Structure 1
Amino acid sequence: MTKLWTLLVAGALSLALAVKPGEPLPDFLLLDPKGQPVTPATMSKPAVIVFWASWCTVCKAEFPGLHRVAEETGVPFYVISREPRDTREVVLEYMKAYPRFIPLLASDRDRPHEVAARFKVLGQPWTFVVDREGKVVALFAGRAGREALLDALLLAGADLP
């Protein structure tokens, strides 16, 4: 019981610290696979931002479902590894299985794990749904369920099929 209580308190605390619905995205500058800069201002919106790590078993289990949602909706899914050891090569190799995802990579200004810290992400996967104005409308710490994600995309103003 103590272990469960500790997990519940830690989960609630981590959500309380993260960027919350209604708040704008923190500033960042990362690069897409073609080397083009991506910032909150240049991102296509509505959008989904997923923080992950290549070794994360929950991420591996979640990505096929997220990718199906990206395919079905046409909403851009930006994926950012919060693992400092996930090199550009590791990320791009991993993303070959998920061509609808847009991996964001280190720039001269920012590293992906630094951006995760600005979002106050404490684990992975963490998923943020962003509306047309660049504000967070939903946050999922852990797996994002399909129906809840689709509902959040509607709240973000996505035109769903």
Structure 2
Amino acid sequence: MNKKQFISIAITIALLSLAWIIFTPVLFPIVHTDALQTAPHRGFFAPSFSLTTPQGDLYTLADYQGSPVLIIFWASWCSVCKSILPGLEAVYRDYAPQGFAILAVNTTNQDNLSEAKAYFQSQAYTFTMLLDLDGAVANAYQMRAFPTSFLVDSNGKISDVIIGSGLTEGFLRVQLESLFTQGED
């Protein structure tokens, strides 16, 4: 390649780059919308919701104002969910007398209702199972993986978000001790 060809190619690349910089905002405008929302995370108030149990009892998140609550989104086909729920039962039994609650929100729109109910009953869990029949609550929490858990403090703020298998019995106990200690201050 001679010097003239090199200069010609360099100028062409420079002109194409300049054109790309100038026309990108025209071809790909920035979209501003109120519909975009930030996923709930630590320090945010937990989105409110009302859901029913398999028996038809209505529960709302506001029912738990003043007490810490764990909201866990799960499905009966999720092996990780099934592996962490027994540890949650042990923590629930120990901390329920202090006001702690667990709301196991079954993402029923992505699950089989009869299998979910059968699994939950077969394990004899004593915390509350709720049905997100249309996925609206999972969408409000921008749930993208199973399980996803939100630990909400007594003021309704999210103190932690745990995705996947990180929600262990020991981890939850440490978090609850911290929340209950903060509540005493």
Tell me the TM-score normalised to structure 1 length. 0.75
**Number of residue pairs the alignment of both structures matches:** 139
Gaps of 5+ in 2: 1-37
Paired position in structure 1 for 2:58: 37
Check the 8 A contact 2:108/2:131 in 1, yes or no: no
Sequence identity (%): 29
**Higher helix residue share:** 2
Partner SS, residue 111 of structure 2: coil
Deviation at 1:83, TM superposition (A): 4.5
CA offset digits 1:122-150 (Å, max 9, x no partner) = 01111111111111111110120222211
Paired residue for 1:73?
95
**Structure 2 counterpart of 1:6:** none
Matched, 1:154 2:180: no
Of structures 1 and 2, the one with the larger relative CO (CA 8 A, separation 6+) is: 1
Counterpart of 2:44, as a letter, is: E
Deviates more, 1:26-35 or 1:44-53: 26-35
CA distance in 1, matches of 2:180, 2:55: 28
State the alpha-carbon separation in 1 of the partners of residues 39 and 154 from structure 2. Answer: 20
Q: Does 1:91 align with 2:116?
A: yes
Letter of the 2:51 counterpart: L
Q: Which residue of structure 1 aligns with residue 6 of structure 2?
A: none
Shift of 1:85: 4.2
Greater Rg over alpha carbons, structure: 2
Larger mean Cα displacement after TM superposition, 25-34 or 130-139: 25-34
> Unpaired runs of 5+ in structure 1?
1-16
Residue from 115, 120, 128 that aligns with 1:102: 128
**TM-score for both structures, normalised by structure 2:** 0.66
